[in-house]
Amino acid sequence: MREAFTLEQLQELWAKLNLRYFRGTLPAVDIEWSPRLTASSGMFVSRIGPRTRTTGSADPPPGGRLIRLSLPLLQRQSDKEILSTLAHEMIHQWQFDVLKKRPNHGSDFRETMAAMNRDGLGITIRHDLDEAVRALAKYAWRCLRCGRVYERQRRTIRPRHHQCGVCRGQLRELV
């Protein structure tokens, strides 16, 4: 298994993408590898609101912004997949920090993604790492009515409180 990008390498990639695609408008952001992020390949997190004023500094307060990348899902992936995930999260950061709106996959996201993809970045709305996500699942529940199986990395489904999203049937944990 190859080594994942170091945090320093990720910050360098972020800085290059920021200059090339966002004209350097994105404020500094921390980037981390998360061993616990197992359902998605990446996540942009803000601990302060988009309209919160800073104290005159060009940089956001420490811990104010974070791009979290999934170590379990991405460590075996190609450099291009990791770059694509980082770029995806940077578009969300741009929506939040520059457009001052809640990150989503709407028209401004898609337009920016298309522009970046013209250079071959391969950014997508959804990752295609479903097999890797399923491989990390430790818990599963089956609907007693329609048979649908729900897999999770944590025991988040409580059969007394939850029901099948397809037919509203009762769920039973698989052992």
pLDDT tens column, 90-106: 999 999 999 999 999 99
pLDDT tens column, 151-160: 877 788 899 9
Domains of the chain, by residue range, sit at 7-129, 137-174
Question: Are the C-beta atoms of 19 and 90 separated by less than 8 Å?
Answer: no
Amino acid at 41: S
Q: What is the pLDDT of residue 129?
A: 63
pLDDT higher than 50, residue 1: no
| Measured CA angle at 59 (ends 53, 63), to 5 deg | 85
CATH class of 7-129: alpha beta
Please state the pTM of the whole predicted model. Answer: 0.71
**89 is a catalytic site residue:** yes
pLDDT tens column, 16-68: 999 999 999 999 999 999 988 877 889 999 876 554 444 444 444 455 789 99
Q: Residue 46 contacts by C-beta under 8 Å, 6 or more apart in sequence?
A: 64, 65, 66, 96
Q: What is the pLDDT of residue 44?
A: 95
**Catalytic-role residue among 8, 32, 81, 89:** 89
